[in-house]
Amino acid sequence: MFGNLVSMRLLAPAVVLGAVALFLFLASAFVRRRETGRWLFPGAALIGLAAALVTLLETVRLQYLPDGYNCLLGGCTAFLGMLAYDPLAVFFQALVMLAAVAAVVLTVGSPAVPQARRGEYFGLILAMTVGMCLLVSANHLLMLYVALEAVSLCSYLLTGFDAKARSAEAGLKYALYGGVASAVMLFGLSWWYGLFGSLNLQSLHFCMLGSPALSPGESGAAVVALLFILAGFGFKIAAVPFHQWCPDAYEGAPTPIAALLSVAPKLSGFAVLLRFAFNLLFDPRDPETLAYAPAQLEWALWAIAALSALSMTIGNLAAIPQNNLKRLLAYSSIAHAGYLLMGVVGGSQGGIAAVSLYGAVYLVMNLGAFAVVAAVERATGSEDLLAFHGLAKRSPLLAVCMAVFLLALTGLPPTAGFVGKVYLFASLLKGGGSLPVILAVVGIVNTVISLYFYARVLRAMFLLPPEPGLPERIAPDGAGLLAAALAVLTLALGVFFGPLAMLAEWSAGFVR
């Protein structure tokens, strides 16, 4: 456990991001000339993100030095136990920063955000990234709540950033749903504090099982508190009973923000959920047997499994009739929250590695799909399925990229999505017992359902004639190039998945 001064070095990436965010806010107020802002704002944001990534790698390097902090081998806590610095945190911080880079790149040529407000816009993206960095390494329920709120507040504002009326509407809906969810979670946290007197994540397991016999009423209250806390996580990752905000928010938000929201907060939510679930369900005194979810806590595992099955099924079924690509991808992202939850249910080191791996793959393919939507939206002014009719003739590059992403999202073989799904199912089935088998069957059935609505988009792009009145050709631009790069990455990771799998294994290293 590190004191405050040493911890500052480990916090460096977040500090860098925060400083650049502040600079952007001030610059947006003081820079008058629009031409200066055009290159200054995205440039500063990209430099800030790059600097943060470098400092993040530097903290990793620092820890492998002979007299380094040696955190990444066992995981350690900084700021007197408030933040955890371990491979899981580093891995997901890097993912979140990369997602923010993609959002900045997608915004540069996008018509969505008014040029005059881009300074605050990029500043908010960086502020949200700071929140997500803190969230993935939160090791204390207070820190967790504060970081969650920081991420949420920035995402409400970014969702409502567009000048269109539906953007403000989406932001308001998101803020009201989110406010209720975070208040429910906080009420659960307050009860948890009252029952067990501790907010540290490391003490979760002992609180639930080791505390001196709770009365029946008190243990009932503990169960309710835990369910309330899970509701907060469910909102952040958009799992099913808490998903209603998701399609509206994505449809109303500027497309780059929809892309960012569909990956970054979701993945950071998953990182902290992994930390939470693992600390709760796993007994650290018993490292040999790796007993995941002892009998008294099996109901919690069933609750997470129920969330997973519901998210997959309802997400996929609701996606079928959608005609707006952003809405369709929103429901698909709800379904993917369900797939990722399978890894949490699988538990143990393998489950965490599978969630990390699939998280990284999901980041690549989902950002790619949104990049194609952004490119088409810029050319045609619409993200409706009609705008995708005959895309193969108008822009073969975009159509092929989109096909790769959709196949990957379905989980078909030559792509990275297939590898991710294999790892998830394998980690789920390794445990044995009836629950994993049931969940795996639900997952496979859902993969088949999802093929149907992804194939609808493929049919529109390749088989249907172009709608009259739309531009004949779509010239490749920044978003198109990003999509192409991500498509290559999706295919490459589908074949050479070794390095990424190793990184994912490493990220699960905080479990021992």
Partner 1 sequence: MTSVGLHHFVLLSAVLFSLGIACAIARRNAVAILVGIELMLNAAALNLAAFSRFGALRAEGQLFVLFVIVLAAAEAVVGLALILAIHRRLRSVDVHRADSLKG
Partner 2 sequence: MGFELAMVLGFFVVSGLALWALLFVGRFLRLRAPRPEKLTTYECGELPVGPAWFNFNNRFYLVALVFVALDVGVAAAIPLVVILREAAAGSGGWLVFLLLFGFLLLLAVALAYVWKKGDLRWLRDLPAPECAPVDTGRPEPKP
Footprint on this chain of partner 2 (rule: CB under 8 A): 22, 25-26, 28-30, 163-165
Mapped onto helix, strand or coil, the DSSP state of residue 463 is: coil
Q: Which does 25 bind (CB under 5 to 8 A by kind): partner 1, partner 2, none?
A: partner 2
Is position 149 an interface residue for partner 1 (rule: CB under 8 A)? yes
Residue 343 interacts with, from partner 2, partner 1, none (CB under 5-8 Å by kind) = none
* Euclidean distance between CA atoms 353 and 423, whole angstroms: 8
Give the rounded distance of the alpha carbon of 66 from its chain centre: 34
Residues 164-203 that bind partner 1 (CB under 8 A): 165-166, 168-173, 175-176, 179-180, 182-184, 186-187, 189-191, 193-194, 197-199
Burial-class residue 321 by CB neighbours within 10 Å (0-12, 13-18, 19+): exposed
DSSP 386: G
Cβ of residue 164: shortest distance to partner 2, in angstroms?
7
C-alpha 319/C-alpha 338 separation (Å) is 14
Phi, psi torsion values for 25, nearest 5 degrees: -60, -45
Nearer to partner 2, 172 or 317 (CB): 172
Q: Which of 248, 315, 345, 504 binds partner 1 (CB under 8 A)?
A: 248
CB-based contact 188:224 (threshold 8 Å): yes
In the complex, least distance from residue 336 CB atom to partner 1, rounded to whole angstroms: 19
Question: Looking at this protein, which amino acid is placed at residue 151?
Answer: V
Q: How far is CA 1 from the centre of its chain?
A: 28
Cα 56 to Cα 27, 44, 49, 269, 362, distances in angstroms: 26, 18, 10, 20, 22
From the list partner 1, partner 2, none, partner contacted by residue 30 (C-beta under 5 to 8 A by kind): partner 2
Please give the residues from 294 up to 323 whose contact with partner 1 meets the rule CB under 8 A. Answer: 321-322
Instruction: Say which entry of partner 2, partner 1, none residue 155 contacts (CB below 5 to 8 A, set by partner kind).
Output: none
Distance CA 496, CA 95 (A): 19
Among 160, 351, 420, 480, binds partner 1 (CB under 8 A): 160
- Under DSSP, the state recorded for 510 is G
Single out the segment in contact with partner 1 by CB under 8 A; choices: 41-49, 115-123, 149-157, 335-343: 149-157
Segment 141-146 long-range contacts (CB within 8 Å, at least 24 positions apart)? 141/189, 141/192, 141/193, 141/199, 141/200, 141/201, 142/82, 142/199, 143/82, 143/83, 144/201, 144/272, 144/276, 145/182, 145/185, 145/186, 145/189
Q: Is 146 in the site for partner 1 (CB under 8 A)?
A: yes
Helix (H, G, I), strand (E, B) or coil at 348: helix
Q: Which of residues 140 and 421 has its CB atom nearest to partner 2 in the complex?
A: 140
Among 86, 251, 377, 383, which residue sits at the site for partner 1 (rule: CB under 8 A)? 251
In the list partner 1, partner 2, none, the entry touching 187 (Cβ below 5 to 8 angstroms by class) is partner 1
Shortest separation between residue 470's beta carbon and partner 1, angstroms: 22
**Burial grade of 140 (CB within 10 A; 0-12, 13-18, 19 or more):** buried
Smallest gap from residue 401 Cβ to partner 1 (A): 25
The site that binds partner 1 (CB under 8 A) totals a number of residues, namely 41
Q: Which does 382 bind (CB under 5 to 8 A by kind): partner 2, partner 1, none?
A: none
Give the interface segment with partner 1, choosing from 66-74, 246-254, 268-276, 461-469 (CB under 8 A).
246-254
Which of partner 2, partner 1, none interacts with 171 (beta carbon under 5 to 8 A by kind)? Answer: partner 1
10 Å CB burial of residue 21 (0-12, 13-18, 19+) is: buried
Contact partner, 194, from partner 1, partner 2, none, Cβ < 5-8 Å per class? partner 1
User: Is 448 one of the binding residues for partner 1 (CB under 8 A)?
Assistant: no
Output the smallest distance, CB 413 to partner 1, in A: 32
Closest to partner 1 by CB, 185 or 504: 185
> From CA 242, how far away is CA 405, in angstroms rounded?
26
Which residues of this chain interact with partner 1, rule CB under 8 A? 142, 145-146, 149, 153, 156-157, 160, 165-166, 168-173, 175-176, 179-180, 182-184, 186-187, 189-191, 193-194, 197-199, 247-248, 251-252, 321-322, 324, 327
